[in-house]
Amino acid sequence: MRKKIVAGNWKMNINATETKALIDGIYQEIASYDLTNTRVIISPSYVNLSSALALTEKGIIEVAAQNMHQAKSGAFTGEVSADMLQAIGVKSVIIGHSERRAYFMESDAILAEKVNAVLANNMEAIFCFGELLEDRKSGNHFKVVAAQLSNALFHLQANDFKNIVLAYEPVWAIGTGETASPEQAQEMHEFIRKTIADRYTKDVADGISILYGGSVKPANANEIFSKEDVDGGLIGGASLKPADFAAIIKSI
């Protein structure tokens, strides 16, 4: 049975002192909650990864990096490699977040290289993808999502997907004033699973966790997570508040 996952992407927020306070707060909020079939992941900035790992060493919270360069090493000022992350104990990496695609021009081809690097180093990729507002309004949303999956992931072998988590981000529903309904989330997640099944097998598709990344909050988490093909969420702003993040975790 595929795992339920609630992952918090802290983005460029939270300093070292705040990192400790936030982690302590999350632990306090979920201390008595049964998380037998649920993974809880937080993703601090690079400079706070080591301290976050130390603070979660004996707990149930996992720590992921927000990004990773595809090269093993080299003259890439400001970048971080898989070996550097592994050396401090990071086992999962977010790849292809919509902000990386938009602000840092990460193409499907670059993301395919990053996914390859993650898997080559026996790490897990939390692969993000999703359509823009113009794609949704023009009716091309399914075509765009299928292309993103095909271009960045469909060169992989079926067995590789045991180290892939998918995170669907309807970019059009994040900070635009538009709202994605739970039904729209389910519709796309079902399409994603079918697309994977058509390329590989139903077993591969049924085994992969697909997270929803469209402004999940305590108020809508329960309804979104109740959908058959939604296996959790990639949470932004709400993951910076212990009570809100815990409420979302408990909604799963």
What span, in angstroms and rounded, lies between the C-alpha atoms of 252 and 134? Answer: 31
Contact 92, 41 (CB under 8 A): yes
How many CB atoms are closer than 10 A to CB 12?
Answer: 7
Positions annotated as catalytic residues are 97, 169
Q: To 10 degrees, what angle do helices 16-30 and 242-251 make?
A: 40
What span, in angstroms and rounded, lies between the C-alpha atoms of 34 and 36? Answer: 6
- Token code pair at residue 105: 């021009």
3-state secondary structure of 110: helix
